């Protein structure tokens, strides 16, 4: 196992210092020197962008200016490490609560990164299994429901949580949010 960790550490260092990079990903005021082999093997969209016939293949630059730079960095770090850092992003402590998990899930869905989507699903489920999170749940219901149904593996998790926590939720001041977004669950 120690040898495998050495490989992961070496790959992570390549992300951190850009050694041997052959692609630049830009997002607003940020940019990362990355490696096609690493990012394109984990994202079908980035893979397609780097194929012949697209400007990104010629320029070696992919611009993701419609996305959140912190989310893009988390996604890219995941590509290099197989996990994401919940401690420090851009020098600030960032707890990856449900809201951020959904934001990154949307990004992983957009760039067709199924392994990251799977990890986020497991973390999302585990958040709901550790204890009451009703306020946080209510804050992400509408975000989860805008994810396309065909790729939305988070929706069944919130539906099940809503069923389990119905009694607590009807006492919440935010019941209207729940009613508007989970009509199929509550049948109100």
Mind listing the pLDDT tens digit of every residue in the chain (188 residues)?
A: 578 888 888 888 988 898 899 999 999 999 999 999 999 999 999 999 999 789 999 999 999 999 999 999 999 999 999 987 655 444 443 445 788 889 999 999 999 999 999 999 998 888 888 765 777 787 788 889 888 888 899 999 988 888 888 777 777 666 666 666 566 444 43
What's the CA gap between 129 and 49, in Å, rounded?
38
Domains of the chain: 1-116 (3.30.710.10), 131-188 (no CATH)
Contacts of 167 (CB under 8 A, 6+ apart): none
CB 58: neighbour CB atoms within 10 A? 10
The DSSP bridge partners found for residue 30 are 27
Closest to 102 in 3D by CA, of 26, 4, 181, 3? 181
Question: Radius of gyration over alpha carbons of the chain, in Å?
Answer: 19
What's the CA gap between 188 and 182, in Å, rounded?
9
- Verdict on whether the full-model pTM lies above 0.85: no
């Amino acid at each position: 196992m120690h040898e495998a960790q050495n490989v992961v550490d070496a790959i992570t260092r390549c992300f951190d210092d850009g050694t041997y990079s052959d692609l630049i990903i830009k997002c607003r005021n940020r940019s990362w020197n990355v490696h096609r082999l690493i990012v394109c093997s984990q994202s079908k969209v980035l893979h397609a962008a780097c194929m012949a016939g697209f400007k990104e293949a010629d320029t070696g630059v992919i611009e993701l200016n419609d996305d959140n730079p912190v989310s893009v960095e988390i996604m890219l770090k995941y590509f290099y490490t197989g996990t994401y850092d919940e401690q420090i992003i851009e020098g600030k402590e960032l707890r990856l609560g449900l809201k951020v998990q959904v934001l990154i899930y949307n990004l992983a869905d957009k760039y067709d990164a199924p392994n990251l989507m799977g990890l986020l699903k497991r973390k999302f489920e585990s958040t709901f299994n550790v204890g009451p999170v009703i306020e946080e749940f209510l804050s992400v219901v509408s975000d989860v429901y805008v994810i396309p149904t065909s790729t939305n593996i988070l929706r069944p998790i919130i539906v099940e949580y809503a069923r389990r926590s119905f009694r607590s939720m009807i006492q919440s001041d935010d019941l209207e949010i729940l009613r508007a977004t989970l009509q199929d669950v509550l049948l109100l």
